[in-house]
Structure 1
Amino acid sequence: MVYQTSVVRDEYISYVRLEKNYSANTVLEYENDVNEFLAFLQIEGITDLNEVTYPEARLYVTGLYDKGLARATISRKISSIRSFFKFANSRYSINDSAFRLLHHPKKEERLPAFFYEKELEQLFNSFEGDDKKSLRDYALLELLYATGIRVSELTSIRMQDIDDYLGIVLVMGKGRKERYVPFGSFAQTALDAYREKSRPLLMKQKEHDRLFVNLRGDPLTDRGVRHILTMMMERAALHTKIYPHMIRHSFATHLLAGGADMRTVQELLGHSHLSSTQVYTHITKEHLRNTYMNTHPRA
């Protein structure tokens, strides 16, 4: 069957976007991974996907290691390209054995970073004033910690997704899977103040239904949230480097340390597999051990 590599690529990207219904960020990652691999083939003088064999696949992955990429990133790239070849095989009967034979690198045993409760308390206590920006930032932080949602999920929340009566928020997760997540009184109070006193001023005649907005009245982006969190850390004089998932990790760790069961935490986080949630048990065990070693007189 006659095909053009660029056509196969474009059809594959449409497939993961429309049929697999992946998020915009995931589609972009897949597209970049495939484009990088096709650029590698061009350098190697390979113009036919059927000519890609196991040695070429190994050579490409070796190059990724040489660049110093994390194992998780390399594993994702292998998955992206393997999926691309699987699609090409089903659509154009292109040989997909090269990446089927390739093993994923072993995952690095690295525990997720999280905040201790006293650090978060210091972060919350750093807020002063009731100006429109402070009210927004405080509500954003309260909701992130109260729900453990991802930043991409936070920025996609609409005004109508908040149920004040039940104290829950409708979240659009990975793979466009919806779930309801509860939040407590602290987040409720912060959201009330933000929606009543801050958001109307920030909107500046703009018309959209996104809950969190930037200083121009446009929907807040993932990058905007990261910037806000960095500014929070500087104001609180916390020297830990922050990234948005740390609050999500803290949410899960504190729940498990407080006695929450694994299945509930899995549901709240929106994890498809329990194994994704189980990593947090290692954190809580390590925390228990450190507490014991630091406090027991004969430890």
Structure 2
Amino acid sequence: MGTAGTSRGITMGDVATHAGVSRTAVSFVLNGREDAGIARDTRERILESARVLGYRPNAGARALASRRSDWYGLVTEIVTAPFAVEIIKGAQDRAWADHKFLLIASSEGRPDIEESAIEKLLEQRVEGLLYAATWHRAVTIPEAAAEVPTVLVNCFDAEGRYPSIVPDERSGGYRATRRLIEAGHTRIGFITLDPDIPATVGRREGYRQALVEAGIDLDDDLVVSGHATADGGYAAAAELLDRADRPTALFCGNDRMAMGAYDAIKEKGLTIPADVAVVGFDNQELIAAYLRPKLTTVALPFEEMGERGIDMLASLTAGQPIATRQVTVDCPLLERSSV
């Protein structure tokens, strides 16, 4: 008999009997063989019989026969994290537009689960893999990923073996600082993430570039780490605002630190943005849009990175060359009310 379809066990043989044709003719039509010389009325009868009976092809068997599954795999640390959800949405929407489908596996940040997840996806004969991180950093990829085209999203391979899609941290830092300069500020404090991670390095370079271009002297005393937390942002902002020559604006390396900075500013009897302007980074919706005043921030382009990752994966699986091994995606400034 033929390949099993629905849970009712409808096969190609059943479709052939219903349509009054051979099983071979059914196979040609349902597998899209346009060169098989099947008459149009016969083709239509077969398709109608398949519809009436509720036949569905076995995707696994079809993948074995064609060596193409129409599936991509996506591995990420925590699929429920806000940023991961945006990456998944961008990737899934883009894959769907190409008539591809996404199998998603969460690694929970554990190397053993990550390796098993990739093995399971390969068992499903995915055509390629996206490996997405919830924060921008260098990663080590399990060896099995090399069996199919693999693209990294919001991270990069320390050994340079895999192509990647990452945010343009430098342009984001530049854009945030430039916005404060355009508002008339010359003493701009920078509350950074943990030192030496790519986001801190890139955003600091952008901050410095904007100041230099504007002819503003660099003052390292205005750069304080907030360690990526709201409490850290509060402490860093309080330290900066206690100075006699306090800054009139703060660029915070993420929105959580900006939230802490808001508290420090208000506790000192200052107002935002009249006394101190604030710009954040990340565009965490539950923070940026609900602070009062609403926070002007730079958005990390997670959804676009997911889309671009699928675009690159599609090129690789089609055997097409890619223009660059690392694509940087612009980080736009979202104007609200804090500047």
Query: Normalization by structure 2: what TM-score?
Result: 0.24
Q: Find the structure with the greater CA-based Rg.
A: 2
Which is helix-richer, 1 or 2? 1
TM-score normalized by structure 1? 0.26
